[in-house]
Chain A
Amino acid sequence: METVVELSGVVAVLSNFPALAGIDLVVHRGEIVLLHGPNGAGKTSVLRVCAGLLPIERGEGSVMGVNLRTHRESVREQVGLLGHSNGLYLELTVTQNVSFWASTVGATEQEVALAMQRMKIDGRLAHVKASQLSAGQRRRCALASLIVRRASLWLLDEPHAGLDTAGQDELDAILQSAVSSGATVVLASHETQRSRLLATRVVKVDGGLISGSES
């Protein structure tokens, strides 16, 4: 099985504080891995290391074959990180937002239409400004932007936050659909009830270390 993420003894520092104290993690293509742990455990830091945003101080790491110690910027084009904000332009419509992200990577209009269709933001919502969307609709618009960017590793930080039950159901279906299309998902959450049902593997993070794993 193809290895997408491989972290070995990774130490990462945030403002002189060791956010990760020697993490070992392997993620294979097609997995949905849930990083579970209390606030401040290091879940977001793992995502940021995988996205090439946080440098590795010690240990070794690679994402999709790219060495994170030497070429961490190169991995960003293949990775989609969705944090607490959605990265949308609130005064642009849904179509204009997705088209903008598509145009930064040279994706076609057809890819834009398909991504919007998959996220169910085509039709009436397509011409609504992002500022007028609900939290769930904004999340779907952000995910459509990840799709048109052709991200093959999705890193999601508290993806269910702010969504109602219907929105959470939709998000789960979207992630499963993304995985069946060849993507790999790593999500961080301290709310596990719903995420456990979705994940193929749960990895416990605590104090900047992996404290356990269950399938």
Chain B
Amino acid sequence: MTSRMQTVRRVSLAVVRKDLRIEWSSKVLLNQVAPFSLVIMIMFAFALDNEGILQRVAPGLVWLATLFSMLVIVQRSFAVETADGALDALRVAGTEPLGIFIGKSLALMVQLLALELMLLAIALVLYAVEPTAMGYAETFATMLIATIGLGFVGTLYGGLGAGARGRETLLPLLLLPAVAPVLIGATRATEAAFGSGGAQSSEGWPWIGLLAVFAGVFGAVGALAFGPMIEE
């Protein structure tokens, strides 16, 4: 392993450990984001008060709730970096930006995955969806691949908005259009997994492939752009 890759690995581990430690200490995901996403899911259930419709649109609702909750997690992830100038300090210290990007992305992915599992459980109960064994496998594959893409894109845009004035409103404006392909791909794949509207399980895998392409593209763009972006 080259010296640079060793540094990237060391910084990534330090950053992911630090971010998860902050979450463990503050419990924002547990005490604020999870209840927020639960409320979204319940409000959807009230708004579409029909079991047939709910079952049909459950995949889209799960992913919309994921995206809205992700905005809170990303803002939080970079708020802790800017509260006392830690992101600046990392930059000033010449800390490997690729390591920061990977570390923050991984921490975001872990939190998103935990949230998605909770949202899936809520969907099973509230929206009465009943996936088959193959459907569950497809759902978990969708979650995993979509989360990788969301983690990369969330970190990239979070870093972009970190130093900006009015970042609370800027982030949704920038991030939501960028994650539209994930919303579409993940919803179609989950529809196939849930069998919503008579969809077949086999129809989901091409969408999972598309999600993997999206994850790869944003991973590569983020790896290249994150350093110059926080430098600005």
Q: How many residues of B contact A (CB 8 A)?
A: 24
Indicate if the CB atoms of B26 and A89 lie closer than 8 Å: no
> Which A residues lie within 8 Å of B4 (CB)?
none
Indicate if the CB atoms of B84 and A92 lie closer than 8 Å: no
Indicate if the CB atoms of A51 and B10 lie closer than 8 Å: no
Q: Among the listed stretches A22-30, A34-42, A75-83, A199-207, which one makes contact with chain B, having 4 or more residues with CB under 8 Å of it?
A: A75-83
Asked if A140 lies at the interface with its beta carbon under 8 angstroms from chain B, I say no
Indicate if the CB atoms of B83 and A77 lie closer than 8 Å: no
Indicate if the CB atoms of A83 and B85 lie closer than 8 Å: yes
Asked if B86 lies at the interface with its beta carbon under 8 angstroms from chain A, I say yes
> Which A residues lie within 8 Å of B95 (CB)?
104
Indicate if the CB atoms of B89 and A92 lie closer than 8 Å: no
Indicate if the CB atoms of A92 and B18 lie closer than 8 Å: yes
Indicate if the CB atoms of A91 and B25 lie closer than 8 Å: yes
Indicate if the CB atoms of B93 and A86 lie closer than 8 Å: no
Asked if B56 lies at the interface with its beta carbon under 8 angstroms from chain A, I say no
> Which A residues lie within 8 Å of B167 (CB)?
none
Residues from 82 to 96 in B contacting A, C-beta threshold 8 Å: 83-86, 88-95
> Which A residues lie within 8 Å of B10 (CB)?
103-104, 106
Indicate if the CB atoms of B13 and A103 lie closer than 8 Å: yes
> Contact check: which of A51, A83, A91 meets B22 at CB < 8 Å?
A91
* A129 CB, min distance to chain B CBs, angstroms: 8
With contact pairs A76-B92, A77-B94, A80-B93 given, residues A88 and B86 touching in the complex (Cβ less than 8 Å)? yes
> Which B residues lie within 8 Å of A173 (CB)?
none
> Which A residues lie within 8 Å of B94 (CB)?
52, 73-77
A-B contact pairs, 10 of them (CB 8 A): A53-B91, A75-B94, A76-B92, A79-B92, A84-B85, A89-B84, A92-B18, A92-B21, A103-B14, A103-B17
Binding site for B on A (CB under 8 A): 51-53, 73-77, 79-81, 83-92, 96, 100-101, 103-104, 106, 129-130, 138, 145, 149
Binding site for A on B (CB under 8 A): 10-11, 13-14, 17-18, 21-22, 25-26, 80, 83-86, 88-95, 99
